[in-house]
């Protein structure tokens, strides 16, 4: 539920999102709510990178197997 409309950070939204990669650990400050499918989620107002992912996770098509 992260979009530029809810974002209230110091840096531009596009710049913050460009620094995030798959597997990074992020800190979120925002309002809790429900999505259209009634899942509990957070509408983030601020996003902070806490720990970058140093070893990339496997690609969803090649690295995971459904057993």
What is the residue-level pLDDT of the chain in tens, covering all 67 positions? 777 887 887 888 888 889 898 889 999 898 898 988 999 988 888 888 999 988 877 776 666 666 6
- What pTM value is reported for the model? 0.65
Q: Residues with Cβ < 8 Å from 20, sequence gap 6 or more?
A: 26, 47, 49
8-state DSSP, 5: T
Q: Is the dihedral of CA 54, 49, 21, 65 positive or negative?
A: positive
Q: Are 59 and 50 in contact (CB under 8 A)?
A: no
User: What are the residue boundaries of the structural domains of the chain, listed by start?
Assistant: 1-6+25-55
């Amino acid at each position: 539920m992260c979009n530029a409309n809810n974002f209230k950070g110091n840096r531009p939204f596009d710049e913050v999102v460009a620094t995030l990669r798959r597997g990074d650990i992020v800190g979120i400050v925002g309002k809790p709510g429900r999505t259209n499918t009634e899942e509990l989620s957070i509408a983030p107002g601020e996003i902070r990178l806490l720990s970058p992912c140093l070893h990339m996770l496997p690609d969803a098509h090649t690295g995971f197997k459904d057993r």
